[in-house]
Amino acid sequence: MDGSGAGVREAALGPAARPAPTRYYGTPLPTLTRDQFDLGELFRMLRRRRGVILGTIAVVTFAVGLYVFTVTPRYTAETALLLDTRKTNIIDLQAVMSSIQTEAAALRSEIDVLRSRELAGRVVDKLGLMGDPEFNEELVPPSGLAALFQFDVGKTISGLLGRIGLGPGGEEMPLTEEQQREITRGKLIDKLLKNLIVANDNRSYTIKLLYTSTDPALSQRIVNTVADLYLVSQLEAKFEATRRANQWLSERVDDLKQQVLASEQAVQQWREAHNLTAADARGTTVSTQQLGELNTQLILATADRAQKESRLRQFQEQAKSGRIDASAPEVAQSPLIAQLRAQETEIIRREADLSARYGDKHPAIINVRAELRDVRRQIASEINKIIGGLANEAEAARIRERSLQTQLTELQNRAAQSNSAEVKLRELEREAQANRILYENFLSRFKETAETEDMQQADARLIARADLPIDPSFPNKKLFIALAFVGSSLFGILLAIIIERLDNGFRSTDQIEQVTGLSGLGMVPAVTSSRRLSAPLEEFLVRKPSSSYAESIRSIRTAILYSHVDKPPRAILITSAVPEEGKSSLSISLARSSAKAGQKVLLIDADMRRPRIHKSLKGRSDATLADLFAGQKTAEEVLNVDEETGMHFICTRAGMPNPQDLLGSQHMRDFIRSVSQHYDLVVVDSPPVLAASDSAVLSRIVDATVFVVRWEHTPRQVVLGALKQLQAVGGSIAGIVLTRVNVKKHVRFGYGDAGYYYGKYREYTA
């Protein structure tokens, strides 16, 4: 032990100038997210949860199948009615009862008629359903225990309340046979309407009637009878309306005939008494006609006078402003003005020519301008004559208007004497005319209804009579089972997804890399209790070197050594987030595997809270690093040797005060640096990260940290929280190891990794 403990003795003596350990920093941790969609992962998830999916499908499909094959089948009969929008008119007469409208409201009204209690009651009566035991369940006597325990709950409670004084007590009045029949009939009507469906698709005028019953023949009879009675009710309503209309019209026509005769006689008698002779066939009197004609002439004369006065004012204004319109009728009709206008134009042209050659004082210019003034005076004189003519015409129009107004006034005075008589005459004539029109309308309507009384037709027709249903409408076995299969499949998939989402642990190295961004160093299969009977877990690797467990440790050791190809880590820290992850077992197994491979290995138990290595390897716990650093123990006393592999290990004991101070001290740093130079591999087993800060302190001293996660058990948020604490203090993380993997279950999950290999082909490493 002297040679082998040289590094330990050197580290215990004090710090020395040794090279710093190589650091291996992992990539930053990504934010945990579970919303990233991966189609491949979805299929793998469905494969993993196929037991849940297939179980759900089997249970739901079996339950639905059991239901559809045991439930009493029901049959639906269907008939169709068409609301006829094309009416056959033999004669062009309007029906007394108008045809139904085909708007949505009218269709809804007809559906209400088909579902009315009155029509349903007629169906019950016509088919005799009250006496049909298949429809009227009251006719079927109870049998067995039902008859033995049958009693009226209402009567029993009422009798008990009466006896204790809380109710009316006494016997109820018995129902008459007619009342009992009406109650039973009402129940049967409710039953019929409950199973009757009247529907329209809102795209046509077709109304479908469907009735469902356990008896196919009864369904057919009921739905056909409903359609027949609906058509009959339409005809009956029209016949009854026509009959009542004819009776009322006959009486009304006789009354109106007498009123017309009396009103016409009153008109004639009034004319004769007041000498009101009619001037035309419409009964207008002579004075009224003259008054109307004279009033018309006065209106025309007034309009003519206003037009002439307006023309006079317009011409006068134009003359004052010197802007006489040459196109005006008065100017255009005067040839003298036209001639003078031509002369004026010629003189103006001559003046322009002379002005170009001579000055304003030249005699020729003076003569031309004098000639121009003379022509314009003649034009002004002629225009004044035209204005005088227009004034004469306007005055004549005013005289004619006053004359007509005088005549109209005189005629109005004469007509005023007979106004009251004419007013009364008009009243009598209007009354006679109204009576005559009303009489003619009623007489015509009476003849029309009399002719159409026997020509009524229903507003709907039957286009499809119900056949006897052969196949049951409920349950549709194939459809129900198919829907159950599809629905249960979807529900099973949904349930599998929910279970998968609730599964918050890690199951594969791929998940570790996706969630944490760190490398998955390997997977350690769980060793079952049956295997432990032959060897403890700590000795399983030594006694069964060809087992899958031993192979997984070797794979992890290789992954750690090659995590940095140029400078493989020599001092590694084994830690986890929480206890019971298997880190101590991994530390021992990794150290032993390396020692059996021929390496010089030192295993240090740095878990001073729950130490385990001294129990597993049967080492001394009374000689620790604290004793070595304090000089209380020698290196030979602290150092232990594993007899199976030759591995060196240092134990610790629980209950040591201030373990953080010891592990973070300069002595510990120098110790790790020193032993790293003398050993090929130094493995440090530390407490969980979230339980104590010891691992965070040690992660800055070692070359790399191996993080242990228990398969399917440790929550992802817990793992990420611990990893972030390590990275926050600058610890280097070489990767993550999944421990205690259930290889059988892992194989069923279908991960194509080492765990799949250990479970699928474990006989290869047996």
DSSP characters for 368-435? HHHHHHHHHHHHHHHHHHHHHHHHHHHHHHHHHHHHHHHHHHHHHHHHHTTHHHHHHHHHHHHHHHHH
Please tell me the predicted confidence (pLDDT) of residue 93.
Answer: 46
- pLDDT higher at 61 or 345: 61
Region 545-562: mean pLDDT is 86
328 pLDDT tier (thresholds 50, 70, 90): low
Q: Give the highest mean pLDDT range of 132-136, 218-222, 261-265, 760-764.
A: 218-222
Query: What are the start-end ranges of the E strands in 504-592?
Result: 520-525, 571-576
Cβ pair 738, 709 in contact under 8 A? yes
DSSP code of 17? -
In the structure encoding, which two tokens stand for residue 10, read together? 């050197």
91 pLDDT tier (thresholds 50, 70, 90): very low
Query: Reading across the β-sheet that carries 460-464, which strands appear in turn?
Result: 196-199, 206-213, 75-83, 460-464
Please tell me the predicted confidence (pLDDT) of residue 25.
Answer: 43
Q: Where are the domains of the chain?
A: 6-24+524-765, 286-417
Please tell me the predicted confidence (pLDDT) of residue 209.
Answer: 92
Q: 280-284, 300-304, 445-449, 601-605 — which is least confidently predicted?
A: 280-284
Selection from 425, 434, 172 nearest residue 288 by Cα: 425
Cβ pair 680, 600 in contact under 8 A? yes
Residue 245 has pLDDT above 90, yes or no: no
Model confidence over 674-695: pLDDT tens digits? 999 999 999 999 999 988 888 8
Please tell me the predicted confidence (pLDDT) of residue 451.
Answer: 62
Length of the chain: 766
Residue 65 one-letter amino acid: G
What is the distance, to the nearest Å, from the Cα of residue 161 to the centroid of all Cα atoms in its chain? 54
Model confidence over 710-727: pLDDT tens digits? 988 889 899 999 999 998
Residue with the two structure tokens 């409920």: 474
- pLDDT higher at 721 or 159: 721
- Tell me the fold of 6-24+524-765: Rossmann fold (3.40.50)
Please tell me the predicted confidence (pLDDT) of residue 283.
Answer: 55
Residue 154 has pLDDT above 60, yes or no: no
Residue with the two structure tokens 């339980």: 691
Please tell me the predicted confidence (pLDDT) of residue 494.
Answer: 92
Model confidence over 621-656: pLDDT tens digits? 788 888 888 888 888 888 999 888 899 999 988 877
Model confidence over 344-355: pLDDT tens digits? 788 888 777 777
Model confidence over 211-223: pLDDT tens digits? 998 889 999 999 9
Give me the chain's average pLDDT, please. 78
Q: 206-210, 408-412, 569-573 — which is least confidently predicted?
A: 408-412
Cβ pair 565, 657 in contact under 8 A? no
The answer for residues whose C-beta is within 8 angstroms of residue 672's C-beta and 6 or more apart is: 11, 21, 571, 682, 684, 701, 702
**Spatial separation of the C-alpha atoms in residues 312 and 354, rounded to whole Å:** 39
The answer for residues whose C-beta is within 8 angstroms of residue 255's C-beta and 6 or more apart is: none
Please tell me the predicted confidence (pLDDT) of residue 2.
Answer: 47
Residue 51 one-letter amino acid: G
Residue 731 has pLDDT above 70, yes or no: yes
> What is the β-pairing status of strands 704-710 and 733-741?
parallel
Region 245-274: mean pLDDT is 79
Q: Is 503 exposed, middle or buried (0-12, 13-18, 19+ CB in 10 A)?
A: middle
278 pLDDT tier (thresholds 50, 70, 90): low
Region 278-307: mean pLDDT is 74
Please tell me the predicted confidence (pLDDT) of residue 364.
Answer: 76
Please tell me the predicted confidence (pLDDT) of residue 160.
Answer: 56
Residue 22 has pLDDT above 50, yes or no: no
Query: Reading across the β-sheet that carries 681-685, which strands appear in turn?
Result: 520-525, 733-741, 704-710, 571-576, 681-685, 601-605, 648-650, 639-641
Q: 170-174, 495-499, 538-542, 687-691 — which is least confidently predicted?
A: 170-174
Residue 1 one-letter amino acid: M
Selection from 593, 572, 267, 551 nearest residue 435 by Cα: 267
**Spatial separation of the C-alpha atoms in residues 648 and 408, rounded to whole Å:** 148
**Spatial separation of the C-alpha atoms in residues 693 and 736, rounded to whole Å:** 19
> Which residue(s) pair with 705 in the sheet?
573, 733
- pLDDT higher at 309 or 490: 490
329 pLDDT tier (thresholds 50, 70, 90): low
In the structure encoding, which two tokens stand for residue 24, read together? 């291996």
Whole-structure pTM value:
0.49
Residue with the two structure tokens 């991994």: 586
Region 186-204: mean pLDDT is 90
Selection from 199, 23, 43 nearest residue 112 by Cα: 199
**Spatial separation of the C-alpha atoms in residues 434 and 431, rounded to whole Å:** 5
Please tell me the predicted confidence (pLDDT) of residue 157.
Answer: 55
Residue 323 has pLDDT above 70, yes or no: no
Selection from 750, 720, 695 nearest residue 517 by Cα: 720
